Amino acid sequence: MTDMLDAGPLVSWMKRMCLSAVTAVLACGAVFPAAAQTATVAVLRIDYPSLLPLSRLDLLQEDRAFAGARVATDDNRTTGQFLGQTHELVEVATTPENAMADFQALVEDGLRLFVLVGNSEDMLAVADAAPEDAVLFNASSGDTTLRDERCRANLLHIAPSDAMRADAVTQFLVWKRWTEWFLIAGSNPEDVALAEAYRTSARKFGAEIVEERTFEDTGGSRVSDSGHVLVQTQIPVFTQDAEDHDVVVAADASDVFAEYLPYHVWDPAPVAGSAGLRPVTWAPSHESWGATQMQTRFEDSAGRMMDDLDYQTWLAVRVVGEAVTRTGSDDPKVLREYMLGDEFELAAFKGVPVTFRDWNGQLRQPILLSNGRMTVSVSPQEGFLHQVSLLDTLGLDRPETECRAFAGGN
């Protein structure tokens, strides 16, 4: 076993060396131990200029996204060794300016399986430039339009849509009978879109937005010494004289104000959405359904705790691994067909199998509701029924989507 594990990085290094030149790919083939299939996944991470987060707990990690993909590749390798299948990982961190060129270089190197970490515009550009036989996985963007009128047949969504996350929160609030909402939205376009997701969700499940305000992003530094003193006077004033409400729902995709709301809002109401009770795919505190094993495996590998993005890249690479295991193929077309088919299902530490919606390529999955310290609940909530899958109570359902790029579409 030791030999096998040691061989992993070596093979990976050799592979990367081979990939560095197009012509070398074929020549290098003979170097590798005979394997029935080799699946190589490239994680393309686009790093944008960003401000410091409001909370130090959200500081960007150097190995973000890659760390999850590494653990998944190790998982896939462990399984692959019993089947004569090889799994490789290529990691590329790039800038918005260089993203397309780096993507093209990977394509030239023969890669066809991509996990994308970036915003929706860049993801669409890459998807539209991809060769016909490539399969791409969106591991980061919640932009609901990518699952709707702007969907692409070659782009599958591991990250849940904003609509799914909003519905996860709404179901819990409705289950609690907290149906009168004070919605506070940021002023940036992503915040506006997120607020719209909450409005749609409120209509869908019967909650009422009784008060709505916009928190203007006026810039300025994120952190200042004794900043809490100012926050303690500003937020109560900002939230004063709202209509009677059960809960404050924050739509702050830009991380400008939501973290300031809990305890500072004028009326004694809980906060949900972008702060307080947050809809997440993963939290370092999640322990149910064997998740503790995943946490320890990740922490041993990365030397830090696992977050949402790590989970989503882990899941993307595991989806590929599972499809390779079951189909005995490394052909992206075969893998995509299997993933979108009835046979595909994957255990992902959420208590139920995750599967793909064959009408827009979105992975069905439960959403954790975390207070940052504990998993408070998991949606879908009891009592929200669906004729196909309870998970389809979250996000765009088949009749609602404008997506027509998939065989299972309308």
Partner 1 sequence: MIKYLLLGGLSVMAAPALANNVFVSNERGNTVTVLDSETWEQIAEFPAGNRPRGITIAPDGSELYVCSSDDDLVRVYDPNTFEELHTLPSGPDPELFVIHPSGNPLYIANEDDNLVTVVDTETHQVLAEVPVGVEPEGMAISPDAGIVINTSETTNMAHFIDTETYEIVHNVLVDQRPRYAEFTSDGSKLYVSAEIGGTVSVIDLTADAPSITKKITFEVPGVQPEWLQPVGIKVTEDASRVFVALGPSNRVAVIDGETDEVLEYLLVGQRVWQLGFTPDEKFLITTNGNSNDVSIIDVEKEEVIKSVQVGQQPWGVVVAPDQ
Q: Which residues bind partner 1 (CB under 8 A)?
A: 1, 4, 75, 78-79, 82-83, 290, 293, 296-297, 318, 325-326, 345-347, 351-353, 390
In terms of CB distance, is 238 or 384 closer to partner 1? 384
Minimum distance from residue 346 beta carbon to partner 1 (Å): 7
Q: In what order do the strands lie in the sheet with 208-215?
A: 208-215, 180-186, 247-251, 271-273
In terms of CB distance, is 117 or 294 closer to partner 1? 294
In terms of CB distance, is 83 or 374 closer to partner 1? 83
Cα–Cα nearest to 193, from 163, 167, 173, 169: 163
In terms of CB distance, is 4 or 31 closer to partner 1? 4
**Residue 132: DSSP 8-state:** T
Residue 261, classed as helix, strand or coil, is coil
Q: Could you report how far apart the first and last alpha carbons of the chain are, in Å?
A: 49
Minimum distance from residue 130 beta carbon to partner 1 (Å): 29
In terms of CB distance, is 85 or 200 closer to partner 1? 85
Minimum distance from residue 129 beta carbon to partner 1 (Å): 34
Minimum distance from residue 156 beta carbon to partner 1 (Å): 19
Q: Which residues, 6 or more positions from 393, have their beta carbon under 8 angstroms from its beta carbon?
A: 167, 171, 380, 384, 385, 386
Cα–Cα nearest to 115, from 71, 77, 69: 69
List C-alpha distances in Å: 268 to 237, 239, 245, 279, 290.
Answer: 14, 11, 10, 21, 36
Minimum distance from residue 207 beta carbon to partner 1 (Å): 24
In terms of CB distance, is 196 or 299 closer to partner 1? 299
Minimum distance from residue 74 beta carbon to partner 1 (Å): 8
Minimum distance from residue 315 beta carbon to partner 1 (Å): 12
In terms of CB distance, is 202 or 316 closer to partner 1? 316
Q: Which residues, 6 or more positions from 208, have their beta carbon under 8 angstroms from its beta carbon?
A: 179, 180, 181, 202
Which residues, in sequence order, are bridge partners of residue 363? Answer: 356
In terms of CB distance, is 54 or 354 closer to partner 1? 354
Minimum distance from residue 60 beta carbon to partner 1 (Å): 28
User: CA torsion angle for 151, 167, 119, 196 (degrees, to 10)?
Assistant: 90
Residue 293: which region, alpha, beta or left (left: phi > 0; alpha: psi -120 to 50)?
A: alpha
**Residue 154: DSSP 8-state:** T
In terms of CB distance, is 235 or 315 closer to partner 1? 315
DSSP of 115-181 = EEES-HHHHHHHHHHS-TT-EEEESS---GGGGTTT--TTEEE-SPPHHHHHHHHHHHHHHTT--EE
Cα–Cα nearest to 117, from 163, 158, 87: 158
Residue 96, preceding peptide bond in cis (omega within 30° of 0): no
Tell me the one-letter amino acid at 327.
T
Which residues, in sequence order, are bridge partners of residue 155? Answer: 136
Minimum distance from residue 389 beta carbon to partner 1 (Å): 8
